[in-house]
Structure 1
């Protein structure tokens, strides 16, 4: 009884529950181009899966490192010797905890230096073996001494061929390590948010009828989670290969959220796994997905706390996990993703809404 009262006061009336989905009006008809370019995914019958990136980004070793950092900070705060880390109190507008998953990109300046680092490092490491191999082949074909070839070819041509990415790598590394003020800058605000506690999905509007340019007011396009449908869109990459991206689109209004920035576009199974994860994360009739990033928050979410109490879940399941066991967990998750059965499921949302297309 106490848990029921806590859930009632903690979650908003609009919170999403898979066992209490209300009846809704018929969906708006999609344009033919949307029907042609996107595949709608079914609601319900989810599996306990998530994109493997969600595990990799919060490894147990990372959790332990963060725990040690927090302990050291608390000790220094008690002694009055704590010195805040650079940008510790800067709001970068992103959140991902037991209440909300809010996404934002870095500012264009920060993205420039990050991309320059990736381009420089990746380009140099990719071109270096090619350059060395071609240098050796040219020496054999032209029957030139290695010294003459180095002067005529390697220094003259390959210095530019390798020098540009090497210079980019070195410059970006220098700036990002020693001059954070030149590259660390928050973006203007978040892009979207899905909120477990309220059951609402929000797309932040930076047009807002000109209000953002006038006074910096960010508009919010908000609707209940159950009014969105998920779609997989197939897009070509730079090489012309087909890549899959997950979207969710509101059934009645022009609110579309693109999840492409969460991980590189790829196989459709990853998109299906993300869709299952989003449903599980938002469903307050079920505990939070059992992922490393949520372990420190599980006791704060009433449904999850009650589930963990009943199942006697180890509260340090992830943080005390050794590397070998984590690799097995990661391997098992990838196996579940490969075998996901999304396209064999009925769309349970069709019980509550009439799809006109």
Structure 2
């Protein structure tokens, strides 16, 4: 079955192909922009993805979601309504975490970072004070008073960090519904079958702010400083005429490795491009036969339908590492 036949039989007229983007760019050379680095569109995207997309655990996660979908007889938007996430051959709709969940995740991360930083700083200060005491001619009172002052500052910081760290891990293990709390409505939706990107109003469940063909959006990398002042990047899709933007953090988290988000952008293009098969990543393997273009390509290549599932965890991790090393060099 050719790509053209697929477009008529299974995919909507608005389904994305690189030719549509090229024609749109030629028709709209001057368009609104935002601050950040605008990413290019590839005419034929390489089969790529972020480090997380190649995680071995995605095999089990994807199968679990599919089992739930079948058990609950969910189709269409009911998949997200019933499971609060969707990731298959037709649609990507990431979970929409609650504000409390985001606070808990940030607090846990801060707890881990500050625990190790403050512990290391206290140990370094201990060595400095000990050196001055032993070799600087100071008496034991100097050592004790200096350590007391240091402890008065560092102990509360260390203990608070430890509480945040272990408290977060306790909630994650014992009360995951709180630690991973999700809202009932989505943030955005990528639909390969229709070629549309839908952006929802975060305040009003299921109300669409914008729904437009995927090829009308520009992709940007925007940076902001993290707690240590280093640049942290986010991937953003922006509609230059509607002037609406959407961060894709829910699916592709901010990172200090811009190459990982360039790989994410390549992954999205490949996922939406119905002239090419789906990205060959572990989580999508059980869905490949349901997508016409992908099924035809896999049949031609003689791809093992259990390519990922027949691998050991170590074999998958080797490929994951190779992909990551390639991604960090992307610009």
TM-score band by shorter chain is 0.7 to 0.9
The yes-or-no answer on 1:299 pairing with 2:289 is: yes
Match of 2:115 in 1: 124
Alpha-carbon displacement from aligned partner over 1:136-161 (angstroms, at most 9, x marks no partner): 43244245389957983565443213
The yes-or-no answer on 1:250 pairing with 2:239 is: yes
Q: In the TM superposition, what are the counterparts of 1:196-207 in structure 2 within 5 Å? A: 196-206=192-202
Question: Distance in 2 between the 1:296 and 1:313 partners?
Answer: 13
After TM superposition, give the deviation of residue 99 of structure 1 in Å: 1.0
Question: Which structure 1 residue ranges, 5 or more long, are not aligned?
Answer: 78-88, 343-357
Alpha-carbon displacement from aligned partner over 1:159-192 (angstroms, at most 9, x marks no partner): 2131111122233333333345655532252111
3-state SS of paired residue (1:256): strand
**Match for 1:308 among 298, 310, 330?**
298
1:94–1:139 CA distance, 2 compared to 1 (3 A): same
1:92–1:28 CA distance, 2 compared to 1 (3 A): farther
Alpha-carbon displacement from aligned partner over 1:51-104 (angstroms, at most 9, x marks no partner): 22221xx31x5525876x79999xxx9xxxxxxxxxxx9856332221111134
Q: Is 1:27–1:251's contact at 8 Å kept on the other side of the alignment?
A: no
Match of 1:152 in 2: 148
1:240–1:66 CA distance, 2 compared to 1 (3 A): closer
1:280–1:132 CA distance, 2 compared to 1 (3 A): same
3-state SS of paired residue (2:278): coil
Alpha-carbon displacement from aligned partner over 1:251-293 (angstroms, at most 9, x marks no partner): 4222322234513333443333222211111011111011111
Question: Distance in 2 between the 1:166 and 1:251 partners?
Answer: 45
What RMSD in Å do the two structures reach over aligned CA positions? 3.7
**Match for 1:230 among 215, 219, 233?**
219
Q: Is 1:47–1:276's contact at 8 Å kept on the other side of the alignment?
A: yes
The yes-or-no answer on 1:265 pairing with 2:294 is: no
1:8–1:36 CA distance, 2 compared to 1 (3 A): closer
Alpha-carbon displacement from aligned partner over 1:202-222 (angstroms, at most 9, x marks no partner): 111246xxxx3xxx5623410
Question: Distance in 2 between the 1:182 and 1:201 partners?
Answer: 29
3-state SS of paired residue (1:263): coil
1:333–1:204 CA distance, 2 compared to 1 (3 A): same
TM-score by length of 2: 0.78
1:259–1:184 CA distance, 2 compared to 1 (3 A): closer
1:232–1:171 CA distance, 2 compared to 1 (3 A): closer
The yes-or-no answer on 1:185 pairing with 2:166 is: no
The yes-or-no answer on 1:321 pairing with 2:317 is: no
Q: Is 1:38–1:234's contact at 8 Å kept on the other side of the alignment?
A: no
The yes-or-no answer on 1:27 pairing with 2:28 is: yes
Deviates more, 1:195-204 or 1:243-252: 243-252
Question: Which structure 2 residue ranges, 5 or more long, are not aligned?
Answer: 72-79, 134-138
Q: In the TM superposition, what are the counterparts of 1:276-295 in structure 2 within 5 Å? A: 276-295=266-285
Match of 1:63 in 2: 59
Question: Distance in 2 between the 1:100 and 1:156 partners?
Answer: 54
1:206–1:332 CA distance, 2 compared to 1 (3 A): closer
Question: Distance in 2 between the 1:238 and 1:6 partners?
Answer: 48
Question: Distance in 1 between the 2:65 and 2:179 partners?
Answer: 26
